[in-house]
Structure 1
Amino acid sequence: MRPPDTRPGGIESVDQSDMYRTVTKSSSVTRLAACLTVWLMLGMLLTACSSQSNGGPAAEMYSQQGQNQSQSARIAGPLTNADELATRAPDQTIILNDGTIGHPRGRPVKVGMLLPLTGRGSEVGQALFQAGQLAMFEAADDNFVLIPRDTNGTPEGAQAAMASLLAENVELILGPLFSSSVGAVKAMAVDAGVNMIAFTTDWRQATPAGSGRIGTPGGSGVYVMGILPFSQVDRIIAYAASRGLGRLGILAPESTYADIVVETAIRAAPSYGVDITKITRYPDDVEDLRPVVEGFTDYPARQAKLKAVVSELSARTDTASRQALRQLRGADTYGEPPYDAALIVDGGQRISIIGPLLPFFDIDPRVVQLLGTGIWDDPNILREPTLEGAWFASPAPAQREKFSRDYQQTFGSAPPRIATIGYDAVALAAVLARRNVDFYTDEKEIRDAAWTSRIYRSDVLTNPNGCAGTDGIFRFRPSGLVERGLAVIEIDDTGFQVLDPARNTFEEIVY
C-alpha cells in the first residue's frame, strides 16, 4: 500500500505542551465503543505474549533501558516526578528518588511516536496520531504514556525527534512514516536498545534484532508494519491458480515497489503451477502508456495474424472458408491473448488510463482475469468500469469498518487508508503494557539486565501466534517484516466484495 498523496502546510503546529500526553481512564472519561479489534487483541496477546518459553515467567518482565556500556544507563522506574524519568545515572548504577533500590511496579510505560505532524505528510501524520488516540481509549491502562514527536516530514526532523524521545526514556518507538526518516533514525534506536515499529512500506528498512547483554532474547530491531507486497502477490497468484488460471502476464513500472512484486511473482508462480508468459516493464515517469499497453497485449502480432488469416480465407471459395471469413468481420485481432490472467502493478491515476487501454487493444476483461495488489485498496479505483470483476489481495474491508466509523464520529472526517496501522500499533503497545509485574529484585539484577525493555522485547514482538487488528491478523517475523492474513477482494459495481476470506489464525511455525 502506498501512503496517500500529501501536501505540506495547512495544519497548525502542534504545541509542545500537547506533545506529552497521557490518557487516564476514569468515570469522567467518555469511553469509545469497544472495537472487535481490541477484544481479539486482548485475548490473543495477553494469552500468547505472556507465555513466551524463551523469556521466562511473566514476573521476570521488566523495563530497563540501557546505553552502551561506555555511556550512562537510563532509568524507567517508579520515580514520583515524571520529569525525572529521563535523568541519567552513572553506568551500572540505578538509584531511585530516596537513594535505594526498589521494586518498580505499576510505573509508567512510555512509548514514543514519530510522525510528520507538520510539513510534508502532515495530514497523514495527524491521522495516524488520532488513530493512536482511539486505540489508547480502547486498550490502554492508566500507566500507559504515549509521547508523540513531530518529524516535520524530514530525515533531519526525525533525528531530532528521536533524540527527544530517547531522552524521555521511551521503551518502544512507533513510526516514522517515511522510509528516509526510518533510515535516518534506526541506528539511533538500535544503539539505545529500543525496538522500533515503523509505518513505512519499505521492506528494506527492516532490521533483525540483536541479542541482549546477558544472552537472553533481547536487543533491538526495526519492524516494518506497512502492508507489504510479498504476501499479497503470493495470495493472489495462489487464488488465481485455484480457479484454473495458469498463464500469467505482468505489466509493471520500473520502480522499487514493482521490482519486488515482479520478483515475488516469478518465485511464487511455479509453486502453484502457473507459467509467466509475458512481462512488460515501463519507465515510472512514462507519459504515454498507449505503446506500453499495446506491446503488453501483443496487439500488433495478433492484428498481423488476423490479416494473414483473412487473406488466406479470402483466397478460398469453399463454404466453410466463407463462413469463417464472415465470423471474422469486425474482429481486431486473431488468436488467444498471451495470458489468461494479467497482474497490473500500478494504481492511482495511471490505472484509470491502463484500464480502458486493455480492451482498446483487444484484451477483454471478461476473458482475461485482471489481478492487482493492495494499492488497489482505494475507493477511487471503483470509478474505473473496466476493472469491474478484477481481483486483488488485501485485508478485508469489513474488518476496519468499525474503526472507520469511530474515527469519523470522533474527528469529523474519514480516515485515510493507512490510519489503521497507527491504531493497531498503539493498541499492540498498550495491550502489552497492561501486564502489571515486578521488575527488579536487587541491584545486581538491574546491573546485569539486557538492554531492551522486556515488555517490548523482540521475542515478544515476534510471537508466532500473532495479533488480531483492524486489518486482520498480523505478526512480525524475526526478519523484521510483517506477515498478514489477506482476503481476495473482487471489484464490482457496488464496491469491494470478499471472494475468499482471510485466515483468522497463524499456524505454529518453526523459525
Structure 2
Amino acid sequence: MVESGMTPKMAETAALRQDNASPRRHLLRAMSVMALGGLLAACQVVPKTAGPPPPPEAPETIEPGLPTDTDRHRVALLVPETGANADVGTAIANATTMALLDARAEKVRITTYDTALGAAAAARQAIADGNKLILGPLLSEDVGSVAPIARAAKVPVLSFSNDTSVAGNGVFIMGFVPGQSVERVVSFARSKGHVRFGALVPKNVYGERSAAAFRSAVKAAGGTLVAVESYDHSAAAMTGAARRLANAGDMDAVLIADAGGNAVRAVPVIKSNGERQILGTERWNTDASLGASAAMRGAWFASVSDGLYGQMATQYRKRYGKAPYRLSSLGYDAVLLTVRIARDWKPGANFPVNRLLAPDGFGGIDGIFRFDNRGIAMRALEVSEVGAGGFRVIDPAPTKW
C-alpha cells in the first residue's frame, strides 16, 4: 500500500507502483489497495425525564502515528511533495506505486513523507510510525539530516542521491554516479584504440567528480592524460575553455562532462583543431535531439539502459497523463529490491540490511546493480552512439555480474 502524509490524521491511499520501467523484461502486474481509517462519533440522546442527563462516555484514546500493522512491512518514502522539487518527488512516488502494483506486493506498505517540510522531521515521524526501511531522500543534504536519526533507530536508508560522500554507515545510494559512466566510456574508447585523452568539465560538484573519475579512468585504462579544462557556466567561459583544450596538444578523445545542450556548443570548437572522438556521460541519455547537430554525430556516452525505462514511461503516461522524470526509475527499482528482500523479512522485525550486499545484486528498470561495501550502487552500463535519428547502442550493458 502507499500512504501520504506525516500526521496522525494521515490518509492512507490505495497505490499502484510504476515501472520506472518494469524490472528487466517481465514485471509483475497489479497491486494492493489502502483503506482510509475513520473514527465514528456516537450521538447521545437525552431522555425526556427529570434529573440530570447521564455523563458522557469517556472518549476513545487515540495513539499517535499510524495504526499497527502486523501483517505487512512498513516502508517510508521520503521525497519532496511540495516546493521546488515537488514534480520530481511526485514522479518518484508515482513510480513506487506502479512497482507495488506490478509486483503484486501485498505484504509491503509504503507511506510517503514530504521532505520539503523538513527532512529530519519526516524521518522522525516515519520512525515513530513504525517504518523499518526508508526509501529516499532525494537530495544529499537531506540524507545528511536523515541519516543520524535513522541510524539511531537501526533503520537503513536507501537514498536516491548520487553523492557518494553520504554513503555508508547504514546509508545506501541508488543515484547514477557520474564517475561510473566516465569510467565506462573511457574504458570503451581505450579498447577502440584511443590513447590520448582530454576533458572539458564545468566548475561545479558534478564537474569536479567527473574530472577526478576521468583522471583515474585514463590511468587505469593505460591511456595518456593530455589536458583537463574547466569553466564557469556561461557560453563565453565554455567557448574559451573549449578553445584552450583544442589547442592543448595532440589528443584523439575528449570527454565533455556536461549536459548535451552545452556539449553541442563546445564540440565544433574542440574539433576546430583536428578531429577527435567525443565522449559524454549519463546526462546525455535524456536528450535525443543531440543528433540534430552534425558535429555531435558519432559521439559516445555511457549510461543505464533506456529500453525498460521507455516501457515504464509509456505506462506512466497512460496512468498519470504526463511523462515521468528520468529519476523516477530509482523509486520503481527501490520497491522491486524491497519486495525481493521482503520474502524472507518478518513483518515488524528490523530490515535485514546485510541482504543489500548480495553479490548477485538486483535487477530493475535501469538494469542490474549491486551495492559495494561503501553502500554505493554499482551499475551495469551500456555505451551508445549519437546518430542523426537518435541513439544506437554499440556496447550493451552486462546482464549478470
* Bin for the TM-score computed over the shorter chain: 0.7 to 0.9
Instruction: Note if contact 1:232-1:393 (Cα within 8 Å) is conserved in structure 2.
Output: yes
Instruction: Note if contact 1:111-1:146 (Cα within 8 Å) is conserved in structure 2.
Output: yes
- The residue that corresponds to 1:111 in the other structure is 75
Rounded Cα–Cα distance in structure 2 between residues aligned with 1:15 and 1:411: 24
Instruction: Note if contact 2:18-2:94 (Cα within 8 Å) is conserved in structure 1.
Output: no
Q: Cα 1:354–1:425, aligned 2, differ >3 Å: closer, same or farther?
A: same
Residues 355-370 of structure 1 aligned to structure 2 (within 5 Å): 355-359=267-271, 361-363=272-274, 367-370=275-278
* Superposed displacement of residue 350, structure 1: 2.4
Q: Deviations over 1:134-188 (max 9, x none)?
A: 0010114322110001112xxx611111111111110110111111111111111
Q: Deviations over 1:199-234 (max 9, x none)?
A: 1111111123xxxxxxxxxxxx11111011222122
Q: Cα 1:158–1:421, aligned 2, differ >3 Å: closer, same or farther?
A: same
Letter in 1 for 2:102: E
* Superposed displacement of residue 411, structure 1: 1.0
Letter in 2 for 1:412: G
Letter in 1 for 2:145: A
- The residue that corresponds to 2:97 in the other structure is 133
Q: Cα 1:130–1:383, aligned 2, differ >3 Å: closer, same or farther?
A: farther
Instruction: Note if contact 2:290-2:390 (Cα within 8 Å) is conserved in structure 1.
Output: no
- The residue that corresponds to 2:48 in the other structure is none
- The residue that corresponds to 1:354 in the other structure is 266
Q: Cα 1:85–1:476, aligned 2, differ >3 Å: closer, same or farther?
A: farther
Instruction: Note if contact 2:301-2:385 (Cα within 8 Å) is conserved in structure 1.
Output: yes
Tell me the C-alpha RMSD between the 2 structures: 3.0
Rounded Cα–Cα distance in structure 2 between residues aligned with 1:20 and 1:36: 24
- The residue that corresponds to 1:419 in the other structure is 328
Rounded Cα–Cα distance in structure 2 between residues aligned with 1:409 and 1:278: 47
Q: 1:386 aligned to 2:295?
A: yes
Instruction: Note if contact 2:72-2:347 (Cα within 8 Å) is conserved in structure 1.
Output: no
Instruction: Note if contact 1:347-1:376 (Cα within 8 Å) is conserved in structure 2.
Output: yes
- The residue that corresponds to 2:204 in the other structure is 255
- The residue that corresponds to 1:376 in the other structure is 284
* Superposed displacement of residue 431, structure 1: 2.8
Rounded Cα–Cα distance in structure 2 between residues aligned with 1:40 and 1:223: 26
Instruction: Note if contact 1:140-1:434 (Cα within 8 Å) is conserved in structure 2.
Output: no
| TM-score (structure 2 length as normaliser) | 0.82
Q: Deviations over 1:362-420 (max 9, x none)?
A: 34xxx310001111122254444321111011012213222111111111111111111
Query: SS at the partner of 2:368?
Result: strand
* Residue correspondences, number: 363
Instruction: Note if contact 2:22-2:312 (Cα within 8 Å) is conserved in structure 1.
Output: no
| TM-score (structure 1 length as normaliser) | 0.65
Rounded Cα–Cα distance in structure 2 between residues aligned with 1:284 and 1:203: 24
Rounded Cα–Cα distance in structure 2 between residues aligned with 1:375 and 1:432: 31
Rounded Cα–Cα distance in structure 1 between residues aligned with 2:400 and 2:192: 24
Rounded Cα–Cα distance in structure 1 between residues aligned with 2:290 and 2:153: 43
- The residue that corresponds to 2:128 in the other structure is 167
Match of 2:342 among 410, 429, 433: 433
Q: Extract unaligned runs of 5+ from structure 2.
A: 29-61
Query: SS at the partner of 1:37?
Result: coil
Q: Extract unaligned runs of 5+ from structure 1.
A: 1-12, 25-30, 43-82, 89-96, 98-103, 209-220, 300-336, 440-451, 507-511
* Superposed displacement of residue 352, structure 1: 3.2
Rounded Cα–Cα distance in structure 2 between residues aligned with 1:150 and 1:484: 28
Letter in 1 for 2:100: M
- The residue that corresponds to 2:31 in the other structure is none
Query: SS at the partner of 2:23?
Result: helix
Rounded Cα–Cα distance in structure 2 between residues aligned with 1:131 and 1:87: 23
Query: SS at the partner of 1:289?
Result: helix
Match of 1:183 among 144, 159, 183: 144
Q: Cα 1:183–1:438, aligned 2, differ >3 Å: closer, same or farther?
A: closer
Rounded Cα–Cα distance in structure 1 between residues aligned with 2:24 and 2:180: 24
Letter in 1 for 2:12: Y
Query: SS at the partner of 2:254?
Result: strand
Query: SS at the partner of 1:245?
Result: coil
Q: 1:280 aligned to 2:210?
A: no
* Superposed displacement of residue 499, structure 1: 0.5
Q: Cα 1:348–1:492, aligned 2, differ >3 Å: closer, same or farther?
A: closer
Q: Cα 1:431–1:290, aligned 2, differ >3 Å: closer, same or farther?
A: same
Instruction: Note if contact 1:23-1:145 (Cα within 8 Å) is conserved in structure 2.
Output: no
- The residue that corresponds to 1:72 in the other structure is none
* Superposed displacement of residue 283, structure 1: 3.0
Match of 1:344 among 256, 261, 274: 256
Match of 1:265 among 182, 204, 214: 214
* Superposed displacement of residue 195, structure 1: 0.4
Letter in 1 for 2:23: T
Q: Deviations over 1:267-304 (max 9, x none)?
A: 222232211112112235675322221111118xxxxx
Query: SS at the partner of 2:251?
Result: coil
- The residue that corresponds to 1:399 in the other structure is 308
Letter in 2 for 1:180: E
* Superposed displacement of residue 358, structure 1: 2.7
Instruction: Note if contact 2:18-2:332 (Cα within 8 Å) is conserved in structure 1.
Output: no
* Superposed displacement of residue 260, structure 1: 1.8
Q: Cα 1:505–1:38, aligned 2, differ >3 Å: closer, same or farther?
A: closer
Rounded Cα–Cα distance in structure 1 between residues aligned with 2:173 and 2:339: 18
Rounded Cα–Cα distance in structure 1 between residues aligned with 2:210 and 2:146: 27
Identity, % of aligned pairs? 30
- The residue that corresponds to 1:77 in the other structure is none
Q: Deviations over 1:300-345 (max 9, x none)?
A: xxxxxxxxxxxxxxxxxxxxxxxxxxxxxxxxxxxxx620000111
Q: 1:230 aligned to 2:230?
A: no
Instruction: Note if contact 2:22-2:99 (Cα within 8 Å) is conserved in structure 1.
Output: no
Q: Cα 1:344–1:246, aligned 2, differ >3 Å: closer, same or farther?
A: same
Rounded Cα–Cα distance in structure 2 between residues aligned with 1:180 and 1:468: 27
Letter in 1 for 2:299: A
Rounded Cα–Cα distance in structure 2 between residues aligned with 1:408 and 1:196: 29
Rounded Cα–Cα distance in structure 2 between residues aligned with 1:285 and 1:385: 23
Instruction: Note if contact 2:371-2:377 (Cα within 8 Å) is conserved in structure 1.
Output: yes
* Superposed displacement of residue 39, structure 1: 7.0
Deviation above 6 Å: which 4+ runs of structure 1? Answer: 13-18, 38-42
- The residue that corresponds to 2:400 in the other structure is 505
Query: SS at the partner of 1:467?
Result: coil
Q: Deviations over 1:396-455 (max 9, x none)?
A: 22132221111111111111111111111122112322447598xxxxxxxxxxxx72xx
- The residue that corresponds to 1:408 in the other structure is 317
